[in-house]
């Protein structure tokens, strides 16, 4: 068979995972001028956009407007969306090999990292990732329960996800009205009794993983005082030394934290307390197995041989009364059936996006990866653009060199027939656009940007109507 990439035989690519990395990969593929490329994008949910829909905080609507760019990419006549089709359930990697010259996995990082301390499993101790998926209306998490009758909450970790979770807990109903938060989450948060939210960093302000704009936002909440204990906002001499020559954004972040530490509460209804140099070492429950307290140790920083500053426990400890705990110490990748996986790194082993055979470390023909499942859960949405571009450059180089799979059924029609046979309820991009329009109009009726469908059955029923 002749080399694919011509009008008669386009290069057929399956992208598994319709988040930002998948869309940026499709965009880069369509920019190719020498080869004719066709893309089918699979997602196990009927809705595209991955973490933009299910992860980005609902009060960050501006960030979500990146979907307009994804719509433009999806508008390419050589693009198709196969939503509600799951790899490993409806189609396997071996199936895809029979229909595509190249397969790209961009499934993100779908689970959390555990804290690994006694009491982690108590009732009321949750991964932040689940709370995020819940308030964003992810169908798998919409029925989770979070006890918002508790007054005091701890969020462990000081990344942007921890800040998102704390901020959403502290927003007023008026603030949440302006968001596309899931309707049940809006109701639950409106009736929440949460009064005090602690965000707990194990290192100091200079090492906080959240970014400066997110820190600033904490000081601008309508009915919540942001508090930083002044002694914990101070930099220790080791951190102070790292500030010389630090990024402007990192210096600004420390300034914002220190500015917050000089503020006095002005009597707002809620308090958000940002703590540093503390680590939870145990969660303590009551007789019904529900979390009641957290034991914290105070840390000091030391420099490793490699020069980074790490936390070390001192002999000072304290107890924090909390009835709800969210651990927000990073996402973790989940293996895909039939695809190599590096368990301890939580990623697909790869070299520049070329999936590697674990035993030989040689690239697997025609298989690629991009996004968090390639590099781990770091960076913002835009980080996925160069990441996906790197992978696609290698895909195109391989295609030009004739290193592709040799599928028996390399046509768009054959792939569609397979998908329809395996999943009659496949959702196309046009279907998604109808759901999108319905969500927007339901939102308009209630003076909100969007009211999401949060059950797959409801989405499919709406499409049938
Ligand atoms: P992250 O940025 O990697 O932050 C993880 C936090 O958990 C760090 O503060 C880390 O502290 C802490 N941590 C790790 N292990 C811990 C332990 N055993 N005990 C206590 N603390 C521990 O992860 P993330 O917040 O999940 O965010 C993931 C990515 O998405 C990030 O790149 C983030 O910027 C991005 N994101 C961006 C936005 C936005 O742009 N608004 C919103 C959400 C997420 P150490 O530094 O000490 O390890």
Kindly state if the Cβ of 297 falls inside 6 Å of ligand 1: no
Closest protein CA for atom 1 of ligand 1: 159
Residue 447 CA to residue 176 CA, distance in Å, equals: 11
What average pLDDT does the chain have? 97
Terminal CA-CA length for the chain? 45
pLDDT tens digits for range 10-27: 999 999 999 999 999 999
Model pLDDT, residue 262:
97
pLDDT digits (tens, 9 = 90+) for 122-154: 999 999 999 999 999 999 999 999 999 999 999
Q: What is the mean pLDDT of residues 222-242?
A: 96
Residue 320 has phi, psi (to 5 degrees) of -120, 125
Whether residue 274 is predicted with pLDDT greater than 90 in this model: the reply is yes
Q: Which of 330, 331, 376, 377 maximizes ligand 1 atoms within 8 Å of its Cβ, making it the mutation to test the pocket?
A: 330
Ligand 1 centre from 157 Cα, in Å?
6
Mutate to test the pocket of ligand 1, among 50, 129, 156, 160 (most ligand atoms within 8 A of CB): 160
| pLDDT at residue 55 tops 80 | yes
Q: What gap in Å lies between CA 52 and CA 371, rounded to an integer?
A: 13
Q: pLDDT grade, residue 1 (50/70/90)? A: low
pLDDT (0 to 100) of residue 316:
98
Contact of 332 with 373, CB cutoff 8 Å: no
Residue 194: which of 245, 229, 149, 234 has the closest Cα?
Answer: 149
Of the candidates 314, 321, 289, 319, which has an alpha carbon nearest to the alpha carbon of residue 299? 314
Q: What confidence tens digit (pLDDT) does each residue in 326-339 have?
A: 999 999 999 999 99
- CA of 378 from ligand 1 middle (Å) equals 8
Determine if ligand 1 sits within 6 Å of the CB of residue 219. no
50 within ligand 1 shell (Cβ under 6 A) = no
- Report DSSP letters for 386-443, one per residue: HHHHHHHHHHHHHHHTT-S---S--SHHHHHHHHHHH-TT-B-HHHHHHHHHHHHHHH
Residue nearest to atom 3 of ligand 1 (CA): 330
Alpha carbon 386 to its chain centroid, in Å, reads 18
314-326 residue pLDDT tens: 999 999 999 999 9
């Amino acid at each position: 068979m002749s080399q694919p990439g011509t009008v008669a035989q386009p290069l057929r690519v399956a992208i598994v995972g319709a988040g930002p990395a998948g869309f940026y990969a499709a965009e880069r593929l369509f920019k190719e001028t020498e080869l004719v490329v066709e893309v089918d994008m699979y997602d196990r949910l009927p809705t595209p956009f991955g973490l933009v829909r299910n992860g980005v905080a609902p009060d960050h609507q501006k960030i979500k407007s990146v979907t307009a760019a994804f719509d433009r990419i999806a508008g390419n006549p050589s693009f198709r969306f196969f939503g509600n089709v799951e790899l490993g359930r409806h189609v396997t990697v071996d199936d895809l090999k029979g229909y595509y010259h190249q397969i790209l996995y961009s499934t993100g990082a779908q689970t959390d990292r555990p804290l690994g301390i006694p009491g982690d499993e108590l009732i009321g101790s949750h991964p932040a990732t689940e709370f995020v998926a819940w308030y964003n209306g992810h169908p798998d998490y919409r029925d989770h329960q979070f006890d918002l009758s508790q007054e005091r909450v701890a969020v462990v970790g000081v990344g942007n996800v921890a800040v998102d979770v704390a901020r959403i807990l502290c927003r007023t109903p008026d603030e949440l009205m302006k968001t596309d938060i899931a309707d049940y989450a809006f109701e639950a948060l409106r009736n929440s009794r949460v009064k005090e939210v602690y965000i707990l960093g194990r290192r100091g302000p200079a090492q906080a993983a959240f970014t400066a704009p997110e820190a600033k936002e904490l000081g601008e909440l309508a009915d919540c005082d942001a508090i930083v204990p002044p002694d914990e906002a101070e930099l220790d001499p080791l951190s102070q030394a790292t500030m010389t020559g630090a990024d402007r954004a990192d210096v600004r972040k420390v300034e914002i934290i220190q500015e917050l530490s000089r503020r006095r509460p002005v009597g707002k209804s809620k308090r958000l307390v940002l703590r540093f140099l503390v680590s939870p070492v145990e969660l303590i429950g009551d007789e019904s197995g529900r979390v009641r307290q957290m034991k914290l140790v105070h840390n000091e920083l030391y420099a490793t041989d490699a020069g980074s500053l790490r936390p070390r426990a001192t002999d000072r400890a304290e107890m924090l009364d909390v009835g709800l705990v969210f651990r927000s110490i990073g996402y973790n990748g989940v293996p895909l059936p039939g695809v190599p996986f590096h368990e301890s790194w939580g990623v697909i082993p790869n070299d520049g996006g070329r999936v590697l055979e674990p035993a030989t470390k040689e690239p697997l023909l025609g298989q690629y990866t991009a996004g968090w499942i390639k590099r781990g859960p770091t960076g913002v949405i835009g980080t996925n653009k160069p990441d996906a571009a790197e992978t696609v450059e290698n895909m195109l180089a391989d295609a030009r060199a004739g290193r592709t799979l040799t599928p028996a059924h390399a046509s768009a029609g054959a792939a569609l027939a397979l998908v329809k046979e395996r999943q009659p309820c496949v959702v196309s991009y046009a279907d998604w656009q109808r759901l999108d329009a319905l969500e927007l109009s339901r939102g308009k009726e209630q003076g909100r940007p969007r009211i999401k469908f949060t059950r797959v059955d409801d989405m499919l029923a709406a499409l049938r109507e």
